[in-house]
């Protein structure tokens, strides 16, 4: 129980100190915003409504209808009052009503709702006696057609946000540093969980850390560009199966001065970006994740996940997607291969009449 609590607090502390969470959310708090900055949110009302949470969107959606119904109910109440239609005005029996069966605020609200929602009238209906009532009716009908169209567009735009498609792309929880083709590389694994392709994919990273300039200025979020590539290059990735991203650690890399015993003591955050376009919708989206020094494993490598079945189909095993193995396994395999090659060479030399060195391979017996 105590260990579980410690692990939870550690994870919470790491999550709080991140600039970018594992899910790609930016962990930035804005404070002391001026009043004019809040007005800018209302000026760009479309973007504000598309970006807010669904709970707030449903609140504004309901409030817009209720507010317009109530405002027009006041207008209809005013129309009935000016014409003497209300019950407390005691209209005579031969009185000409602007709206039949509208005699108080409740009936005015119901008539406003019926007019704006285009449902059939019951006892309440507009007459041709009042010209002002006709003008209010026309204006409410037009507004009643605009509001649902507006909210329908907002909901469709919110549903079609590219970040929904970005949920189908995952990064490995850990990054590894190992040797690849006799070169030290930082490796990250990424996968597309949907069968629809992501085209025009570009991957890059930013190493964010606190640095100090020669002038003594402290830069809290100094950003250093990190280049990533795969076997096919840096651009136009064929993202049909999980890919392993490589960052070559050379003299130009900020990881060049780090070692296996100093990596965990560093204070930085590696943010990885993937920009791509959805194949079916042509919407561009960006997927983000980040890695802290504790999430970079030196001397490990990702386990293979792609294989071929007996039928010849390619198979991706996601159970090993985030698993890493020590390079000792690779070294053991290399030694086994070298031993096998040595035995093969020994068998070949044993069967020769004359070896490569010129020795005669003849055995005398019963001499």
Instruction: Supply the DSSP symbol for 117.
Output: T
Q: What is the three-class DSSP state of 85?
A: coil
Q: How far is CA 266 from the centre of its chain?
A: 27
- Please give the Cα distance from 177 to 256 (Å, whole number): 12
84: its two tokens: 């003497």
CB–CB of 315/307 below 8 Å? yes
77 CB burial (10 A radius; 0-12, 13-18, 19+): buried
> Which phi and psi angles does 342 have, rounded to 5°?
-65, -40
pLDDT digit string, tens, across residues 216-245: 888 888 999 999 988 655 566 778 888 999
pLDDT digit string, tens, across residues 294-323: 999 988 888 888 888 888 888 888 888 877
pLDDT tier at 35, thresholds 50, 70, 90:
low
- How would you classify the pairing of strands 296-298 and 243-248? unpaired
pLDDT digit string, tens, across residues 243-275: 999 999 988 899 988 888 888 889 899 999 999
Domains of the chain: 35-159 (1.10.287.70), 164-322 (2.60.40.1400), 324-367 (no CATH)
What is the reported pLDDT for 332? 44
How far, in Å, are 14, 49, 53, 56, 63 from residue 42 at the CA level?
Answer: 35, 9, 16, 14, 16
Q: Is the pLDDT of residue 207 over 80?
A: yes
User: What's the start-to-end Cα distance of the chain, in Å?
Assistant: 81
Percentage of the chain modeled with pLDDT above 90: 41
- CA atoms 92, 93, 98, 102: torsion sign: positive
- Please give the Cα distance from 42 to 22 (Å, whole number): 31
């Amino acid at each position: 129980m105590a260990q579980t609590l410690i692990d939870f607090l550690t994870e919470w502390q790491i999550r709080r100190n991140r600039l970018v969470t594992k899910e790609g959310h930016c962990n930035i708090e804005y404070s002391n915003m001026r009043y004019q900055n809040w007005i800018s949110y209302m000026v760009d009302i479309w973007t504000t409504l598309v970006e807010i949470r669904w709970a707030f969107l449903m609140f504004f959606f309901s409030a817009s209808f209720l507010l317009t119904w109530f405002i027009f109910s006041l207008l209809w109440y005013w129309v009935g009052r000016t014409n003497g239609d209300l019950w407390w005005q005691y209209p005579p029996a031969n009185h000409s009503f602007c709206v039949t069966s509208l005699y108080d605020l409740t009936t005015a609200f119901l008539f406003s709702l019926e007019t704006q929602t285009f449902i059939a009238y019951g006892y309440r209906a507009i007459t041709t006696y009042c010209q002002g009532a006709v003008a209010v009716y026309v204006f409410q009908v037009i507004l009643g057609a605009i509001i649902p169209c507006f909210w329908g567009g907002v909901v469709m735009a919110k549903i079609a946000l590219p970040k929904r498609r970005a949920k189908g792309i995952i990064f490995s929880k850990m990054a590894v540093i190992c040797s690849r083709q006799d070169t030290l590389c930082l490796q990250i694994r990424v996968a597309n969980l949907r069968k629809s392709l992501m085209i025009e994919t570009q991957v890059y990273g930013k190493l964010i850390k606190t640095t100090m300039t020669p002038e003594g200025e402290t830069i809290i979020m100094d950003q250093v560009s990190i280049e990533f590539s795969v076997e096919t290059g840096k651009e136009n990735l064929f993202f049909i199966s999980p890919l392993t991203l490589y960052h070559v650690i050379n003299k130009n890399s900020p990881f060049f001065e780090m070692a296996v015993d100093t990596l965990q003591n560093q204070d930085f955050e590696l943010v990885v970006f993937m920009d791509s376009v959805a194949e079916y919708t042509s919407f561009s989206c960006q997927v983000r994740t980040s890695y802290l020094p504790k999430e970079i494993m030196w001397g490990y490598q990702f386990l293979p996940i792609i294989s071929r079945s007996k039928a010849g189909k390619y198979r991706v095993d996601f159970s090993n997607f985030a698993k890493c193995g020590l390079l000792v396994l690779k070294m053991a395999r290399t030694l086994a291969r070298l031993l096998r090659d040595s035995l093969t060479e020994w068998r070949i030399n044993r069967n020769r009449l004359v070896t490569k060195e010129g020795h005669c391979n003849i055995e005398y017996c019963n001499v």
